[in-house]
Amino acid sequence: MDKVLKSLDVINVEIDNRLSIKPEYKIDTFVSGNKYRKLKYNILEAKNQNKSTLLTFGGAFSNHIAAVAAAGKANGFKTIGIIRGEEVSAKIANNPTLSFSQSCGMQFKFVSRSDYRNKTKTSFIENLKNEFGEFYLIPEGGTNQLAVKGCEEILTDDDINFDYICCPVGTGGTISGLINASKSHQKILGFPALKGDFLSDDIRKFAKHDNWELIRDYHFGGYAKINTQLISFINTFKKTYQIPLDPIYTGKMMFGVFDLIDKGYFNENSKILTIHTGGLQGIPGMNKRLEKKNMPLID
Ligand SMILES: *Cc1c(COP(=O)(O)O)cnc(C)c1O
């Protein structure tokens, strides 16, 4: 991610006269899509603070962990990943995300699921400082004020003609940036990748406008849950448009957008921009899990 300081040119792909895709996944294989956007100003801030270590949190297949590992390496930082699940420590070799992150020099600490829940508590962070020394802390999923600032750069002046901007939602940082960069005639639709209704409050913390809505019908049972219908949609989509989708975020969002189009949710003349936030590094890890369950794989 030596591109960290450069401005990027991500050119929208037109699917038909209503629907376009902003292919943010093309930014980088590992520091991809919104994770690039969310890290940009955090990396600059860590440099300004003269920190030499980045520390962050994530699950075993996390796009954010892979992105921090790669961006940290490219920018000369030591990186530490606090990983959810002690049992994961035995599975690094078989886990594409963690093997990759380790190959970038990331050091792991595996913690139990109950300890992991304390990750925002001062005492937990203090213990990490005692163990690892000074670091620049990036929260789970990478969302903070500087991440939102980076995500505000996803939309450009060329996107002004779109009526709807659609994106997947995890922690809400990306959609907050899109909302802040949007114009008042635009509506931002977020498609949560997980169950629960806590997200709106998180978004309100960062978002400056209220031209947004969460569409909660397309999480497919919860975070990282998938079924054969979703796999088949992702594979057909790739065959038809030569654009790969990831199973955790962009696949579910795009499934939702297509379903809403079918159901007549959008009016005939409206123009829709979907944000492809990346996440493709997660496909090999998901395929390993699908293989074990004897399910069809993602192409
Ligand atoms: C992390 C991630 C998201 C979620 O972004 P938030 O800012 O946490 O809402 C969406 N898409 C992809 C591909 C991601 O990796």
Ligand 1 close to Cβ of residue 32 (< 6 A): no
* CATH code: domain of residue 110: 3.40.50.1100
pLDDT digit string (tens) for 202-236? 999 999 999 999 999 999 999 999 999 999 999 99
d(CA 143, CA 45): 14
Enter the pTM of the model.
Answer: 0.96
Pair (76, 88) in one structural domain? yes
298 domain-assigned: no
299 domain-assigned: no
Report the share of the chain in percent with pLDDT over 70.
Answer: 97
Minimum-distance ligand 1 atom for the alpha carbon of 177: 7
- Residue 195, pLDDT above cutoff 70: yes
Instruction: Point out the domain boundary residue: 142, 162, 188.
Output: 142
Instruction: Point out the domain boundary residue: 142, 167, 187.
Output: 142
72 domain-assigned: yes
297 domain-assigned: no
The count of domains in the chain is 2
Structure tokens at 81: 């990943």
Structure tokens at 104: 């970038």
pLDDT digit string (tens) for 234-246? 999 999 999 999 9
Ligand 1 close to Cβ of residue 171 (< 6 A): yes
Pair (56, 178) in one structural domain? no
Pair (21, 167) in one structural domain? yes
Q: Are 254 and 245 in contact (CB under 8 A)?
A: yes
Query: Sorting pLDDT into bands at 50, 70 and 90, what band is 29?
Result: confident
Predicted pLDDT at 5: 44
Is 184 considered catalytic here? Answer: no
Predicted pLDDT at 196: 83
Pair (56, 107) in one structural domain? yes
Who contacts 160 (Cβ-Cβ below 8 Å, separation ≥6)?
Answer: 183
